[in-house]
Amino acid sequence: MSEPQSGRGALVAGGLAALLASTCCLGPLVLVALGVSGAWVGNLTALEPYRPIFIGAALVALFFAHRRIFRPVQDCKPGEVCAIPQVRASYKFLFWAVAVLVLVALGFPYVVPFFY
């Protein structure tokens, strides 16, 4: 029996893609700001060519998560996860947290020159 779709998978995929998209640029900056340094920190930029793919995957995942999470309560069948108010509220919070991560990944290359 398959689990009813709740948007959780799309939300997790969007978050993971957003983290991967920001790893190439944000990762080294955060590590240096925390005092962690070394020649290996430069190797984190190896993911830079894949950044557009990760951002695209995050945006697609957020689109599908939004469709599942923000649908009207009347569309939810009794017993589905989306019918429980606490779960809906936590998914909405997580959705916006992931959306902020995606925005950081999108805007970071334009803001990073101000930090270096």
pTM (two decimals): 0.66
pLDDT at residue 4 tops 60: no
Distance set, CA 107 to CA 11, 14, 56, 61, 93 (Å): 20, 16, 14, 19, 21
Which pLDDT tens digit goes with each residue over 14-42? Answer: 777 777 766 666 666 677 677 776 666 66
Q: What confidence category does residue 116 fall into, taking pLDDT thresholds of 50, 70 and 90?
A: low
As a whole number, mean pLDDT of residues 40-67 equals 78
Q: What confidence category does residue 84 fall into, taking pLDDT thresholds of 50, 70 and 90?
A: confident
pLDDT at residue 65 tops 50: yes
pLDDT at residue 91 tops 80: yes
Number of other CB atoms surrounding residue 88 within 10 Å = 19
pLDDT value of position 103: 86
pLDDT value of position 1: 38
